[in-house]
Amino acid sequence: MKHINIFLSALLGLSTPAIVKAEIVDISTPNTSLILDAEKGGSLRLLHYGNKMASSDIATLKEAGAIDRNAYPVYGILPQGEAAMSVTHADGNMTTDVEVTGIDTTTAPDGAKVTTISMRDKVYPFNLNVNYRTYPAEDVIETWVDVTNNEKGTVRLNRFMSGYLPVRYGDVWLSQLYGSWANEGKLSQTPLNHGVRMIKNKDGVRNSHTSHAEIMLSLDGKPQENTGRTIGAALEYSGNYKLFIDTDDSNYHHFFAGINEENSAYNLKKGESFVTPPLALTYSEEGLSGVSRNFHRWGRNHRLHNGNKERRILLNSWEGVYFDIDEAGMAGMMKDIADMGGELFVMDDGWFGDKYPRDNDSTSLGDWVVDTDKLPNGIQGLIETAKSNGIKFGIWIEPEMTNTVSELYEKHPEYIIKAAKRPATQGRGGTQLVLDLANPKVQDIVFTVVDTLMRKYPEIDYIKWDANAPIMDHGSQYLTADNQSHLYIDYHQGFETVLNRIRKAHPDVTIQACASGGGRANWGVLPWFDEFWTSDNNDALQRIYMQWGTSYFFPAIAMGSHISASPNHQTFRRIPVKFRADVAMSGRLGLELQPKNMTDEEKAIVKNAIADYKKIRPIVQFGDIYRLVSPYDGKGVASMMYITPEKDDAVFYWWKTETFMNQQLPRVVMAGLDPDKTYTVTELNRIDNEPLSFEGKSFTGRYLMSNGLEIPLTHKVDYHKNTDYASRILRLTAK
């Protein structure tokens, strides 16, 4: 039997399945419950999702007014409502009507349970399984669906959502992310009114520039950061997705999430199966930040590659030199980052090309051969230079792409995505093309790019993997004419196949998911990537907004955040280096500039920032987030903090987002501390001529969470050093 598995997490180490005969199925984590009614011969019913339920309450749930709706509605019988799955059977019948046939449960060594409710069509030999997996330590439950066609002919899947969740109608608000290139991760919060709210992506390659496949639903009115019942949902998929909420004339908001089925109908031959990507659900009564903490822990522990390994502080060459790569310049940048205390240098675009040197963005992708005119001693020479400076070396690639001006394209024009009978649409630089990862030969090429680099230069520590083009034509030169609608899905199946091969061969190299900036900030790719590039826009003020939104679903350890030049290369805003550093230190710290253009004073400030970041790195990268004052609230300030799980160490961030004379800013009350612990305050990255009044003083967690600390609106520096920016980082250490 052929299995088409779309980004399904491997379920390893499970015990022998046991048949469960109970009709009521309780799928629980320590603080949440998902209750189903799975009576054999009937439809699968969802009774509850939310707070953890006592067995006595479960017994009377229906009498109390349970949800009691179809847990995975299929299309055809009473087709007026939205469905999670729509099928055209081999004989052309478009109706599906399934009944429960059994319940299997398995238990993993870590206590996670996988529950599978098996169903079949009442007429056709068509099987559908709804699956749930618990992550007890993180209060996350994944759900996904697999279907198998046992009919004599081909079954066409017209819609194939990963999951459906009815949410009781009320004062429910939706929090979602939107944006564009250089403006990713923007936060939108709106009430759910009648009608349909749609969030979708059709880029084909990258899926998180303009929207995100993750949402939060606040059930108690306008979203609050640390209070209120909140549901979080995250689709674990790297391709085109569709999330929508249909608020109809019933008492429910109907939430669906899965692969975007538009122009992607999938054909299953007899004996073939299709598996949807998982949809991760979590619930918290500690507001938006509570949901974020669940997702962050789950991501670090189970989804993010090497999610519990500290990330290095790096300098990336892109905004420092762009394509002007040469050996002396790289050596100089390596020495500079090493002198400032950095740990890694990454050489970006412009290092490759033989017949066609990569001097701009119009040539050479696919020709991953060192340009020896620029680098006479090759990559090994750069690795040796890095070692002599006591740092690691990394490199940029874009292996899914090629240019018309390249040796790869000249030899294999059949490897690109292109519609039959039409010329290929070309992207970046007027020549960029996307390779067809549905083709196993292309998969081999992409794997070989990474494998050759790592086998030839095993000391490469970091790879920046970029993807700078969408699918620009719907057409595969590999897929058959009757399966052209498989393109978007098979591309990402091929992508997964390549990544599995790479990680099996090279599990330790750090790989960043860059895709024209933040185009791949999603849980679908992160099992194979250690981090993502948050945005091509490094402007510190705008980064506060983008990183705030991104933090709703992704932990700081995964969020590349760099100190850029002034004026900024995207907004041309002039921001002092202290503020730039204070923003970058709330993510995975790095630099994106030419150090030789910095003043000695700027270098000293950055050197101090790097030293301070190393002290707090475990707190930032592995701690629990508490967002305090949102930049989107327009109060002139943004503030957040990270706290260790033991609540014995914390980092508090405060950024002023606007400056006016005689302005009044709110005093920020902290959160998440132990009220009975006493914390000593130390300012990091201090530039003031004298310390803050509370420097070195101690306060109880109870006081800090009730009153906070009075943060000065300006810095006490020499007159000529005054600017309109102010920011503070405080470390709170329990005695």
Sort 83 into a burial class: Cβ within 10 Å, 0-12 / 13-18 / 19+: buried
pLDDT for position 18: 43
Rounded CA-CA distance 393/312 in Å is 11
pLDDT of residue 322: 98
Residue among 373, 262, 273 nearest 326 (CA): 373
Whether residue 110 is predicted with pLDDT greater than 90 in this model: the reply is no
Handedness of CA 500, 505, 508, 510 (dihedral sign): negative
Does pLDDT of 15 surpass 60? no
Q: What is the pLDDT of residues 431-482, one digit of tens each?
A: 999 999 999 999 999 999 999 999 999 999 999 999 999 999 999 999 999 9
Asked whether the predicted pLDDT for residue 8 surpasses 50, the reply is no
Is-contact 125 150, C-beta < 8 A?
A: yes
Whole-angstrom CA distances from 173 to 76, 192, 285, 554 are 31, 5, 15, 20
Does the domain formed by 3-303 have CATH 3.90.1150.10?
A: no
Q: Which of 121, 367, 466, 539 is catalytic?
A: 466
pTM metric for this prediction: 0.96
Q: SS3 string of 273-328?
A: EEECCCEEEEEECEHHHHHHHHHHHHHHHHHCCCCCCCCCCEEECHHHHCCCCCHH
Instruction: Looking at 175-264, list the stretches that DSSP marks H as alpha helix, in order from N- to C-terminal side.
Output: none
Outline where 586-698 has alpha helix (H).
600-622
Which CATH superfamily is 626-734 part of? Answer: Golgi alpha-mannosidase II (2.60.40.1180)
Q: How far is CA 294 from the centre of its chain?
A: 14
Report the candidate in 471, 468, 449 with the shortest Cα–Cα distance to residue 460.
449
Rounded average pLDDT over 652-681: 98
Residue 11 has pLDDT above 70, yes or no: no
- State both tokens at 47: 């009774």
Instruction: Give residues with Cβ within 8 angstroms of 47, minimum separation 6.
Output: 24, 35, 36, 37, 61, 62, 66, 67, 68
The answer to whether residues 146 and 2 touch, using CB atoms and an 8 Å cutoff, is no
Q: What is the DSSP string of 531-597?
A: EEE--S---HHHHHHHHHHHTTTS-GGGEEEEEE-SS-TTT-----HHHHHHHHTTSEEEEES-GGG
Q: Tell me the mean pLDDT in the region 345-362.
A: 98
The DSSP secondary structure of 381-398, one letter per residue, reads: HHHHHHHHTT-EEEEEE-
* Per-residue confidence (pLDDT) for residue 108, from 0 to 100: 82
Assess contact for 188 and 242: CB atoms under 8 A: no
Q: How far is Cα 207 from Cα 446, in angstroms, rounded to an integer?
A: 20
What is the token pair recorded at 476? 């595969």
What's the pLDDT at 4? 43
Dump pLDDT digits (tens) for 254-298. Answer: 999 999 999 999 999 999 999 999 999 999 999 999 999 999 999
Position 507, amino acid: P
- 339 as an active site residue: the answer is no
Residue 271 Ramachandran class (φ > 0 left, ψ -120 to 50 alpha, else beta): left
CA-based max dimension of the chain: 83
Q: Mean pLDDT, to the nearest integer, of 509-518? A: 98
- The reported pLDDT for the residue numbered 13 is 38
Average of per-residue pLDDT across 48-77: 96
349 belongs to the catalytic site: no
* The two structure tokens encoding residue 440: 């196993």
| Residue 731 pLDDT greater than 50, yes or no | yes
Q: Whose CA is closest to 585, among 553, 626, 552, 544? A: 544
Q: Is the pLDDT of residue 20 over 60?
A: no
Same fold, 3-303 and 626-734: no
d(Cα 368, Cα 399) in Å, to the nearest integer?
9
- Residues above pLDDT 70, as percent of the chain: 97
Task: Flag whether pLDDT at 207 surpasses 90.
Answer: yes
Q: What mean pLDDT value characterizes the chain? A: 96
Among the four given CATH numbers 3.30.70.420, 1.10.3720.10, 3.20.20.70, 3.30.565.10, the one describing domain 317-403+443-469+507-621: 3.20.20.70
Band of residue 590 on the pLDDT scale cut at 50, 70, 90? very high
Rounded distance, CA 525 to CA 539, Å? 26
Distance CA 416, CA 400 (A): 10
Residue 262 and residue 149: Cα distance in Å, rounded?
A: 21
pLDDT value at position 109?
Answer: 81
Q: Which of 101, 83, 88, 104 is nearest to 41 (CA)?
A: 101
- Which residue's structure tokens are 């790569």? 325
**pLDDT value at position 111?**
78
For Cα atoms 240, 202, 76, give the angle at the middle one, nearest 5 degrees: 65
- For the cut 60, the answer to whether the pLDDT of residue 176 exceeds it is yes
Average pLDDT score over residue span 357-380: 98
Give the mean pLDDT of 574-588: 98
Omega of the bond prior to 399 within 30 degrees of 0, cis? Answer: no
What's the pLDDT band for 57 if we cut at 50, 70, 90?
A: very high
Give the active site residue among 536, 539, 612, 624. 536
Structure tokens at 684: 């990091």
pLDDT at position 624: 98
Whether the pLDDT of residue 3 is over 70: the answer is: no
Question: Looking at the predicted structure, is the pLDDT value of residue 5 above 90?
Answer: no
Q: Which residues contact 545 (CB under 8 A, 6 or more apart)?
A: 185, 186, 187, 631, 632
pLDDT at 308: 96
Residue percentage of the chain with pLDDT more than 90 = 96
**Which tokens belong to 559?**
């969020």
Q: How far, in Å, CA of 341 to CA of 348, rounded?
A: 20
* Per-residue model confidence (pLDDT) at position 408: 98
Q: Give CA separation, 429 vs 326, 404, 422, 466, 664, in Å.
A: 22, 10, 20, 15, 48
Domain boundaries, the chain: 3-303, 317-403+443-469+507-621, 626-734
Residue 280 in contact with residue 234, Cβ under 8 Å? yes
